[in-house]
Structure 1
Amino acid sequence: MNYKRLGDYIIEKVEFNEGNKYDLLLGVSNNKYFQKAKTNTIGVDLSKYRVAHHNQFVFNRATTRNGDKISIALRKGETCIVSPSYRIFEVADENILNPDYLLMWFKRPEFDRYARFKSHGSAHEFFDMDEMNDVELPIPSIEKQREIVAQYEAVANKIKVNEAICEKLEATAQALYKHWFVDFEFPNKEGQPYKSSGGAMVYNEELEKEIPEGWEVKSLSDISKQICVGFVGSIYDDYCEKNIGIPLIRTTDLNLSGIDYSNLKYVSKEFHNKNKKSQLTKGDILVARHGSNGMPSIFNLETEANCLNVIIIKPNQKIANSKLLYCFLTSKNSINQIENSVSGSVQDVLNTKSISDMKICFPNNESISIKLGIKLNDIEGFKTLKTFENQNLTQLQSLLLSRLATLEG
């Protein structure tokens, strides 16, 4: 296979921010995109920072403590400034090497491993311009490169569309929950908003506000079947291959979009059968105990699964289903309760008692919560379809990236 030396196709660019012409300071993520810089710029001389223009690559040459990845991104749009320690280069001739094609090469996990392997230094390791120049890759015809980029970007755009749909669906669910359970504008017997239509309200001393007559303050444990913590301890010897194992959900699999099922670990059936308390069923809510404390996700697979070091809430679906409890857990009041429960904790680890004791204003008339739950479930079902679709599209992106290595240069 005919690989080409990258250094023959790129030019290093060294331009400093003289006269403080630019003030948009950005950093580079190891996920290959630009992000807001964490640097406190008060009193800092920005003229010493480097300038990055449209279609220029920026990378952090320091690879130590960077999650086994190299931070590199392709600047699009507005000119920005970056750390003086970063390195910047551009493609010499975009009719020979497409910058977006090159970025795809950098997104491959194999390139991250290569960059870590080629990094040098003692206390701190670096992958600098010399090493970048020595990178080898296939460079097919510019027409082929553009075709590959178009395929990849079509998938990326579809992912963005689905993400936008999921955000709108989640906002709708949150607004509906707030309308019914916070603003108390659930439909009365005539189908009119309860509070604004003059529904009876009573003062609640615990909440220090008026709540609908027939509602009361309950603990989360009162409206859940069970709240417990998943397996805690060493699990290394119980890992096994996917084809013979049971999926294991960890804190790292939880994110703001839900549970990421694309990179699961698997444990033996013996481990799963022995640890019944941490066994999962569809509809269980998993809550991160550390890191993103209190971040909930709904487990929505039909298959058996187990979990590691997360709190499990098993909803009483007849009273308050999974999505209703999820909306409660992500409401402002709940987030404040969780933050208060971990503040002052030595390790900032969320425990089951803190979750169990969370307070929710809840109707004694269960038909109200059931009706809301049905509406929220419909929204969640569509959102789940889009989420699974995105996880499949992400796998397709990985496949497209892996094929780059087999192209003829």
Structure 2
Amino acid sequence: MSAEWVTLTIGELVRKGEATVQTGPFGSQLHSHDYVTAGTAVIPTEAIGRGRILDIAVPQVDSMKAAGLARHRLRLGDILFARRGAQATGLSAIIDERFEGALCGTGALLLRIQSPRVDPNYLAMFLSSEAAYIWLRTHAVGAVMPNLNTDIIKGLPITLPGIEEQRSLARLFGTLDDRITLLRETNATLEAIAQALFKSWFVDFDPVRAKLEGRAPEGMDEATARLFPDSFEESELGLVPRGWRVLPIGDAVEAVGGATPDTKNPAYWEPAIHCWTTPKDLSGIAAPVLLDTERKLSDQGLAKIGSGALPIGTLLLSSRAPIGYLALAQVSLAINQGYIAMPPGGLLPPLYMLFWCRQNMENIKGRANGSTFMEISKKAFRPIPALLPSPEVVQVFATVAGALFDRLIENEKQAQTLATLRDTLLPRLISGQLRLPEAQSAAEDALA
């Protein structure tokens, strides 16, 4: 570590009057009848992401209730910790301009810096690092539901360079975070466009309705429009475009499952060669694509799984704990028993099936059963009735949506590369393996 860097605890800052740590309002201070459609935002645990408040809808209270909770109002630069929750505990995020004046939620802990020697943006970056997150998770209390409290937060060690270097690092890491955010916002837009196209063509049947009314389908060239029929017919799914068939989804796609080789037998896991996924790999992904897996199998381990290595492009649907995670595999991989996987080669391609599964998720979940946890089996999944459009229409959709997803995949790869760089630079800076100019150069190269 550089001689200019010092390590101390948040509690030491508190004792010197350079910081405060407090809980959010007690749960008894906020009730369901307090919430309104427009008012002062209340930041709940689920809005606390790694380093930033997420762009999700949050509860709001009226001005009278907000006035009564004035001591919990948030200032620019405040840092919120998720106090409890199996997945959330240990996450922290800084309050930016979007939520200045909002209220701290009941499931959060508030850290407010009052020291000229600590830059809040640097500290927020430090607290969002993997090392800080693991420290908090390790020290949380409660075996079933981990919890943090103010004493745990005060015990957290932090490492500080000089204030000017803190500010430089905050700007550097802020630039990386801004690029990651922009890439993922772009991806959300690309995904929404593909989802809207699927709904228009295969749920609302907009092109067919337009032709039935003697209109040209909106936003569609003549060659594509000719592929759609101009009338409807009755089916077990109701009125559907004439000539399109209804059949069990198991007749339109291959649906396979997986397994878990004996985890106590190292021969199945070493050397780690073949990607192997569980639904946990999908729990935190920012886009519906899986670029890598947490664990990998040896050749012997792969041989223990009947479905073997599934090809790139396979759609993964988590079938239990919970049901409904979806992603398109971007690596060849094997799966555990918590999936129904749909590889390429069926009448309906995996990208089409991604949106079909979303559209039919309530039906899928409705066919699940189980005493310990709900699970949808392949046997229960395969009979679900599905509409089969003409092959030509399916191909056009796959081409248009595929171009959008090609961009999405490249964006997500870049976002993950930048996130990895961000997460590796800080510990190397703290340990003295890297100096600030070297870190800045590495970031500039990645952003170029």
TM-score (norm 2): 0.74
Q: Give 2:6's match in structure 1, choosing from 3, 6, 21.
A: 3
Greater length-normalized contact order (CA 8 Å, ≥ 6 residues apart): 1
Residue number in structure 1 paired with 2:241: 212
Q: Does 1:52 align with 2:78?
A: no
Residue number in structure 1 paired with 2:438: none
Distance 1:26 1:244, change over 3 A: closer
Give identity over the alignment, percent: 16
Structure 1, 367-376 or 112-121: larger mean CA deviation: 112-121
CA distance in 2, matches of 1:123, 1:165: 37
CA distance in 2, matches of 1:114, 1:72: 13
Q: Count the aligned residue pairs.
A: 392
Q: How far does residue 245 in structure 1 lie from its aligned partner after superposition?
A: 2.4
Q: Is the contact between residue 283 and residue 315 of structure 1 (CA under 8 Å) also seen in structure 2?
A: yes
Aligned positions of 1:327-338 closer than 5 A = 327-331=355-359, 334-338=360-364
5+ residue gaps in structure 1?
none
Q: Does 1:93 align with 2:106?
A: no
Structure 1, 75-84 or 21-30: larger mean CA deviation: 21-30
Q: How far does residue 34 in structure 1 lie from its aligned partner after superposition?
A: 4.6
Residue number in structure 2 paired with 1:246: 274
Q: Is the contact between residue 89 and residue 148 of structure 2 (CA under 8 Å) also seen in structure 1?
A: no
Residue number in structure 2 paired with 1:311: 340
Q: Does 1:271 align with 2:271?
A: no
Residue number in structure 1 paired with 2:230: 199
Q: How far does residue 27 in structure 1 lie from its aligned partner after superposition?
A: 2.8
Distance 1:109 1:219, change over 3 A: same
**Aligned AA for 1:384?**
I
Distance 1:212 1:194, change over 3 A: farther
Q: What secondary structure does 2:367 align onto?
A: helix
Q: Is the contact between residue 253 and residue 261 of structure 1 (CA under 8 Å) also seen in structure 2?
A: no
CA distance in 1, matches of 2:408, 2:24: 46
Q: What secondary structure does 1:24 align onto?
A: strand
Distance 1:41 1:289, change over 3 A: farther
Residue number in structure 2 paired with 1:280: 310
**Cα RMSD over matched residues?**
4.0
Q: How far does residue 252 in structure 1 lie from its aligned partner after superposition?
A: 0.9
Q: Does 1:373 align with 2:404?
A: no
Residue number in structure 1 paired with 2:20: 12
Q: Is the contact between residue 68 and residue 112 of structure 1 (CA under 8 Å) also seen in structure 2?
A: no
Q: Does 1:161 align with 2:179?
A: no
Q: Is the contact between residue 248 and residue 267 of structure 1 (CA under 8 Å) also seen in structure 2?
A: yes
Residue number in structure 1 paired with 2:386: 360
**Aligned AA for 1:73?**
A
Q: What secondary structure does 1:228 align onto?
A: coil
5+ residue gaps in structure 2?
209-216, 436-448
Q: Give 1:26's match in structure 2, choosing from 43, 51, 57.
A: 43
Q: Is the contact between residue 229 and residue 352 of structure 1 (CA under 8 Å) also seen in structure 2?
A: yes
CA distance in 1, matches of 2:86, 2:199: 40
Distance 1:52 1:179, change over 3 A: closer
Structure 1, 67-76 or 96-105: larger mean CA deviation: 67-76
Q: How far does residue 268 in structure 1 lie from its aligned partner after superposition?
A: 1.6
